[in-house]
Amino acid sequence: MPRDWWKGVVVYQVYPRSFADSDGDGVGDIRGVIERLGHLERLGVDVLWLSPVYCSPQDDNGYDISDYRGIDPLFGTLEDVDELIARAHDAGIRLVMDLVVNHTSDEHAWFVDSRSSRDSEHRDWYWWRPPRKGHVGGEAGAEPNNWGSFFSGSAWEWDEATGEYYLHLFSRKQPDLVWSNPDVRAAVYAMMRWWLARGVDGFRMDVINLIDKPDGLPDGDKKLGDLWGQAFPLVSTGPRVHDYLQEMHGQVFADLGRPYLTVGEMPGVDAEQARLFTDPARREVDMVFQFEHVDLDKGPSGKFDIVPLTMAELRANLMRWQVELDDVGWNSLYWDNHDQPRAVSRFGDDDPVWRERSAKTLGTVLHTLRGTPYVYQGEELGMTNVPFSAPEDFRDIESVNYIREQTAAGVPFSDLLPGLRFRSRDNARTPVQWTAGEHAGFTRGEPWIPVTPNHEEINAEAQVGVEGSVFEHYRALVALRHEERAVSHGTVTPLAMDHPDLWAFGREHEGTRLLVLASFTREPVEVPPELLEGWEGAEAVVATSGDAAAGVLTHGVLPGWESVVLRSSGTLAE
């Protein structure tokens, strides 16, 4: 097995709370994942990334961990995880766990000890700071700096008992760890080795580029209208992140002696940084999740401020990443995950007439690019955003806090709704739609968040094994990556980059050439004739429909929102 085995694979993300509920308590669980492993096998994916199942007060749905070596009873037991690892391995699927070590829960034993007194053993494992000079702790403006939290409000929480503030970039129940403390790092590495010894095959590292905080914790810039200073530019990708990841590699992975995968979640990372993080010679991580393409539609007032995005802008961004990482480094490819809106509603067209075609076409593009594709649960079914309408519809701490903060500042909820509908993380968190039946077959109880009403049309039962379905298209794309080295290892040539509706590129490897053509509009697209020169006798290896393949090969026209992948040993048009 080559060291870079992950170049030829597809990863499937399970958000366990919303995947499948085996015990009827309305929350998905590990046994639910075990019971539905056949779905992943059928799709053909190679790796399962499991979002957190560790012990947690669930303030941020498990991204607030109170015991890294324990499993939350909500999700099951350690034995269930052992069984999941074994069953996944039997099915030829590797298991990657989430690693959330920028912060712990405030209920983690380390933090409980840390806050117990100023000279506790773990005091300097967290960021404790006195009030700002001349201010009284706990009063407005006394925070050590002006940083805002990602989840609204100050990033500092006053602790009356010990008379200091602690830092939390996320919720107040997610205190940040001090990575410059070698004891913190040693404890994290020991925990990682413990999981690897249990059989897991790697880690997805949550906000791993935020672990290095700047010396002196300076105030952040405040733009007009900002309630708090911007912490993000100051904490994103500090220089020591590279040192820490190299140290981690040496302490955790260097002597593992078996295949593994590491992916660093890195908001704000640019392509140049990503090359450094993923250059195999530097031994940091195998790939990163970059955020540029999922931030393009973000307006100046933050994530719920939505600006229109054209295909051309999206394409320009992702193709630039393809080019910049073509000789050194490696891309992760994703349209959505548990933090992002549903891909078909955001980048495709979720009108019932176009939904399936555009979901399939998004799949075609992502799965034929160079990099490792990630499928987020339900994406392979073309699941959509949710028609939220009232404040009570939201569960996610980010949305709930935002609604509370904005309405308290006098903004009517109706003004917030469009942004929330478009981008609330809850869009991705409604239950996976297994059947057209009650609660979409997710639970026999009451789901923790209602299923999306369209589960009657969009569900696995209606798609698995059904020709032409989104699921079967994704299955074909996964198989193509396994079989066709031009997909997994080929070079990429962006084509027709000025076309407003056609996303086109070539792939090439050892004499095999592929041409990917994808329409991002409802109207038929005439493929520029020069693109098709030399492709007359080509084979359509994957297409969203027979019509799409025939349309391109016989008339040079791609029907609306359709896509094809052509294979030939002919010459790629320049």
Q: Point out the residues that are catalytic.
A: 206, 265
Given CA atoms 499, 501, 503, 504 in this order, what sign does their dihedral have?
negative
User: Which listed residue (14, 47, 55, 100) binds ligand TEU by CB under 6 A?
Assistant: 100
Q: Cα(408)–Cα(540) distance, rounded to whole angstroms?
A: 56
Specify whether the CB–CB gap between 189 and 101 falls below 8 A.
no
| H or E stretch at 482 | helix 470-483
User: Which listed residue (72, 164, 176, 206) binds ligand TEU by CB under 6 A?
Assistant: 206
Q: Residue 228, interface with ligand TEU (CB under 6 A)?
A: no
- Tell the smallest beta-carbon distance from residue 442 to ligand TEU (Å): 20
Is residue 117 exposed (0-12), middle (13-18) or buried (19+ Cβ within 10 Å)? exposed
Residue 182 neighbours by CB under 8 Å, 6+ apart: none
Q: Cα(195)–Cα(263) distance, rounded to whole angstroms?
A: 16
> What angle is formed at CA 490 by the lines to CA 378 and CA 472, rounded to 5 degrees?
25
Residue 176 vs 284, nearer CB to ligand TEU: 176
Residue 281 vs 307, nearer CB to ligand TEU: 307
Residue 399 vs 433, nearer CB to ligand TEU: 399
SS percent in the chain: helix, strand, coil, step 5: 35, 20, 50
| H or E stretch at 244 | helix 240-248
13 three-class SS = strand
Number of chain positions touching ligand TEU (CB under 6 A): 13
- Tell the smallest beta-carbon distance from residue 81 to ligand TEU (Å): 20
Residue 128 neighbours by CB under 8 Å, 6+ apart: 114, 118, 159, 162, 164, 165, 166
Q: Cα(509)–Cα(7) distance, rounded to whole angstroms?
A: 14
- Tell the smallest beta-carbon distance from residue 235 to ligand TEU (Å): 11
Q: Cα(368)–Cα(306) distance, rounded to whole angstroms?
A: 28
Measured CA to CA in angstroms, residue 417 lies from 112, 151, 350, 439, 450 at distances of 38, 17, 19, 25, 18
Residue 264 vs 373, nearer CB to ligand TEU: 264
Query: Which amino acid is it at 315?
Result: R
- Tell the smallest beta-carbon distance from residue 267 to ligand TEU (Å): 4
Residue 207 vs 566, nearer CB to ligand TEU: 207
Q: Per-residue DSSP letters for 492-505?
A: EEEE-TT-SSEEEE
Encode 346-382: b = buried (16+ Cβ within 10 Å), e = exposed. Answer: bbbbbeeebbbbbbbbbbbbbbbbbbbbbbbbbbbbb
- Tell the smallest beta-carbon distance from residue 423 to ligand TEU (Å): 8
By CB under 6 A, the residues from 314 to 343 that bind ligand TEU are 338-339
Residue 320 neighbours by CB under 8 Å, 6+ apart: 271
| H or E stretch at 367 | helix 355-368
User: Which listed residue (29, 106, 164, 398) binds ligand TEU by CB under 6 A?
Assistant: 398
Residue 438 neighbours by CB under 8 Å, 6+ apart: none
User: Which listed residue (55, 207, 287, 458) binds ligand TEU by CB under 6 A?
Assistant: 207
Q: Residue 59, interface with ligand TEU (CB under 6 A)?
A: no
Residue 15 vs 535, nearer CB to ligand TEU: 15
Q: In the stretch 407-446, what mask flags binding to ligand TEU with x, by CB under 6 A?
A: ----------------------------------------
Q: Residue 60, interface with ligand TEU (CB under 6 A)?
A: yes
Q: In the stretch 442-481, what mask flags binding to ligand TEU with x, by CB under 6 A?
A: ----------------------------------------
User: Which listed residue (150, 388, 442, 561) binds ligand TEU by CB under 6 A?
Assistant: 150
Q: Cα(404)–Cα(315) distance, rounded to whole angstroms?
A: 36
Alpha helices (H) in 73-181, listed in sequence order: 78-90, 109-114
| H or E stretch at 274 | helix 271-278
| H or E stretch at 479 | helix 470-483
User: Which listed residue (267, 447, 559, 560) binds ligand TEU by CB under 6 A?
Assistant: 267
Residue 31 vs 423, nearer CB to ligand TEU: 423
- Tell the smallest beta-carbon distance from residue 11 to ligand TEU (Å): 15
- Tell the smallest beta-carbon distance from residue 70 to ligand TEU (Å): 18
- Tell the smallest beta-carbon distance from residue 161 to ligand TEU (Å): 26
Residue 337 neighbours by CB under 8 Å, 6+ apart: 13, 289, 374, 376, 428
Q: In the stretch 357-376, what mask flags binding to ligand TEU with x, by CB under 6 A?
A: --------------------
Q: 494 phi and psi, to 5 degrees? A: -65, 140
Q: Residue 394, interface with ligand TEU (CB under 6 A)?
A: no
- Tell the smallest beta-carbon distance from residue 331 to ligand TEU (Å): 18
- Tell the smallest beta-carbon distance from residue 303 to ligand TEU (Å): 5
- Tell the smallest beta-carbon distance from residue 12 to ligand TEU (Å): 16
Determine how β-strand 11-14 pairs with β-strand 47-50: parallel
Residue 357 vs 429, nearer CB to ligand TEU: 429
| H or E stretch at 67 | strand 67-71
User: Which listed residue (75, 126, 170, 321) binds ligand TEU by CB under 6 A?
Assistant: 170
Q: Residue 63, interface with ligand TEU (CB under 6 A)?
A: yes
Q: Kindly list the residues in this chain that would bind ligand TEU in the complex (CB under 6 A).
A: 60, 63, 100, 150, 170, 206-207, 265, 267, 303, 338-339, 398
